[in-house]
Structure 1
């Protein structure tokens, strides 16, 4: 799968968030602030994973329809991927 610049840019932002989080920890910032940033990173990763799955699912369903095949299994697999990611 080719990942578009939107997804790559999201991951770069997440990378920056993690670096900032590590800096906060090195500077002995308050636990509440560190955990808040951890939660923000987790949310960003979850949303990016959902974007990747949905984009891939859309493409795969289109391909299955062109072949005249059912996309039910693809949808189940996508849902399972999203459930696992949480």
Structure 2
């Protein structure tokens, strides 16, 4: 069974998509490096928050699933931590 992503995370990613288009527009308009980098930094921050939200929501459901099955949930917690570390 796949993971169902909530509408708010999809909305967040659409906003990031718009920001990326905005960076391309800044480049086409030959705006300053400072402006481009500032927008790219904003995209990175937004992406980091999206990753954290996805991992947190998935972790919560995985822990519930493991507990309902009578299994130890520490493995899924470790996997979530590894995902967050790899994303940076």
Give yes or no for TM over 0.5.
Answer: yes
**Structure 2: which 5+ residue stretches go unaligned?**
none
Match for residue 43 of structure 1 among 28, 42, 45 = 45
Aligned residues: 86
Taking structure 2 as the reference length, the TM-score comes to 0.96
1:68 shift after superposition:
1.1
Shift >2 Å, 4+ stretches: none
Taking structure 1 as the reference length, the TM-score comes to 0.98
The residue that corresponds to 2:66 in the other structure is: 64
**SS of 2:72's equivalent?**
coil
1:64 shift after superposition:
0.6
Equivalent residues in 2 for 1:1-86, closer than 5 Å = 1-86=3-88
Two-structure CA RMSD over aligned residues (Å): 0.5
**SS of 2:52's equivalent?**
helix
Q: Distance in 2 between matches of 1:49 and 1:33?
A: 24
**Structure 1: which 5+ residue stretches go unaligned?**
none
1:17 shift after superposition:
0.3
